[in-house]
Amino acid sequence: MNNPTPTEVEVYIKDHFSHLKDPYEAAGKCLSVCQQIQETFPSLKLIKGLVSSPTNIDNITGAHYDKQYPHAWLKADCGTIIDPTVSQFCLLGELNYHELDDAKQTKRCHFCGKYYQGDDITCGHVECITELKNE
C-alpha cells in the first residue's frame, strides 16, 4: 500500500502483532517491529527518538526533566504517530514523542541522565553545568 491511512495501519498491527498488547512482549522490540511494518507500508517514516511522560512518577521526585526512554515509532504522511509497541510504556501515562535528528549522535548527560545532542559535555541544564564546575 502506497499511502495507507493510520486506521489501515492500526488494523494491520492488530491483525499481525496482537501479542504486542502485552507490555512484556513489546518491550525492546520497537525498532524491529517498526521495520517489519514499514516493509508492508513503505510510505511510513521510521522515526528514532525519545519518549517521555510529564505524568511519570519519576518526574514528581524532583528531577528537573522528564525521564526519557530511547524509542522508535512510525509516522504517517499526515503526521500521525503510529506506535505499535506503545504498550511497553503503559505505566507512564501520557507520552511525549521527541524526534532526534541523528540518533547515533545522541549522548546521555553524566549528571542527570537526560539524552541530548551536540558537542557539549552536559545537557546544558543549569544544575548539570553547576555540578560539572564543582567537579
More confident call, 97 vs 66:
97
Confidence of residue 122 (pLDDT cuts 50, 70, 90): confident
Length of the chain measured in residues: 135
Q: What is the pLDDT of residue 59?
A: 53
Percentage of the chain exceeding pLDDT 70: 87
Give the chain's largest Cα–Cα span: 56
- Would the pLDDT of 69 be above 80? yes
Sketch the domain layout of the chain as residue ranges: 6-99, 102-135
Confidence label for 12 from pLDDT (cuts 50, 70 and 90):
very high
Q: What percent of the chain has pLDDT over 90?
A: 33
Place of cell 509497541: 85
